[in-house]
Amino acid sequence: MDQILPTILSVAAKLPSIAVLVIGLVLAAMRRDRLPRSARVLLRSGVVVLLVVVLAALAWNLVFSNLATADWVRDGGYQRISLLALLFDGLVSVGNPIGFGLLIGAVLAGRRPAEPPVDPVRSAAAPAPHPASTASGWGGSAPGAGR
């Protein structure tokens, strides 16, 4: 019974991350026709890498709680646990930046090229003459003129 509460808490702490990543994979699969191929590949790769990191973290939390109470830890197993912790930290330290880098690459690969900016001076047409004015300019006045 002592081991069940930390196990439940470990799983509960990782569930939101797992859910977001799985939903991300599902949405990427559903919207695959709207994304260029390179963006799809980068998106899927990034989500899978991050999902592997989260699942590895969950596995480490579950295993570590059992390792701490195992007999082999008391018999000089500290070096084994520290080696496992070092390997896990290496996985997380490399996996997270790779996963997020792939997601950023997917965002940038999925963007359309920017259209050239519109020059307001050149795009504006010459203003039409005021309807009340005549060819000589004496037939009418513009609103507010002469006041």
pLDDT tens digits for 42-81? 999 999 999 999 999 888 888 777 766 666 666 667 777 7
**Residue 19 in this model has a pLDDT that exceeds 70:** yes
> Which pLDDT value is given to residue 85?
82
**Residue 134 in this model has a pLDDT that exceeds 60:** no
**Rounded to whole angstroms, what are the CA distances from 38 to 35, 65, 106, 126?**
8, 41, 7, 45
> Which pLDDT value is given to residue 143?
59
Give domain status of residue 141, yes or no: no
Give domain status of residue 56, yes or no: yes
> Which pLDDT value is given to residue 130?
61
Count of domains observed in the chain: 1
Residue 59's nearest CA partner among 3, 5, 2, 14 is 14
- Pick 11 or 115 by higher pLDDT: 11
Give domain status of residue 131, yes or no: no
What is the pTM assigned to this prediction? 0.67
Question: What's the chain's average pLDDT?
Answer: 79
Give domain status of residue 37, yes or no: yes
Number of alpha helices (DSSP H) and beta strands (DSSP E) in the chain: 5, 0
Give domain status of residue 46, yes or no: yes
What is the percent of the chain where pLDDT is above 90? 27
Give domain status of residue 146, yes or no: no
Give domain status of residue 126, yes or no: no
Task: Outline where DSSP puts E strands in 25-138.
Answer: none
Q: Say how far apart CA 97 and CA 103 lie, in whole Å.
A: 10
> Which pLDDT value is given to residue 74?
65
The single-letter code of the amino acid at 26 is V
Domain with 107, as residue range(s), is: 4-113
> Which pLDDT value is given to residue 141?
55
